[in-house]
Amino acid sequence: MKQSANHIFDAQRKITGHPGASTPLHRITNEKTINAHRKAMCAKVHNPDPKKYDCDEYPFAASKEGGNPARGSTRIISAGDNRSAGARLGGFYKAQRILNGDGYYVRIK
């Protein structure tokens, strides 16, 4: 998931307030809101081959801070990398019992 990690690292440095690094992200669980966040971030991003690549957004669509193109970042990355990172994020939420509204940080090593 190197591409996802690189995107998060770059986005945290670029976005004012350094969401997820200096300030926490907050989980949301409402699928309609998550899908709206993803659409707001990725609808206008050109994807050269949707079978091979995904639009990766940061802050995550499943965070309260996601969905704002003026305060977020998008990058086209391999679909496998993006989906693996999404699965890991879901596993993190479950393992750490991150519930709707809970804050958390993202640290890239």
Tell me the per-residue pLDDT of 75-102, one tens digit each, with 9 for 90 and over.
999 999 999 999 999 999 999 999 999 9
Question: Would residue 46 count as lying in a domain?
Answer: yes
Contact yes or no for 74/57 (Cβ under 8 A): yes
Taking 70 as the pLDDT cut, the residues of the chain under it are none
Question: Would residue 16 count as lying in a domain?
Answer: yes
Question: Would residue 98 count as lying in a domain?
Answer: yes
Distance (Å, rounded) from C-alpha 90 to C-alpha 96?
10
Domain extent at residue 29: 2-104
Question: Would residue 65 count as lying in a domain?
Answer: yes
Question: Would residue 109 count as lying in a domain?
Answer: no
Please tell me the predicted confidence (pLDDT) of residue 28: 98
Contact yes or no for 108/7 (Cβ under 8 A): no
Question: Would residue 45 count as lying in a domain?
Answer: yes
The half-sphere exposure of 7 on its side-chain side, counting CA atoms within 13 A, is 21
Question: Would residue 73 count as lying in a domain?
Answer: yes
Question: Would residue 60 count as lying in a domain?
Answer: yes
Tokens at 105, concatenated: 């940080």
Q: How many structural domains does the chain have?
A: 1
Contact yes or no for 18/37 (Cβ under 8 A): no
Please tell me the predicted confidence (pLDDT) of residue 104: 98
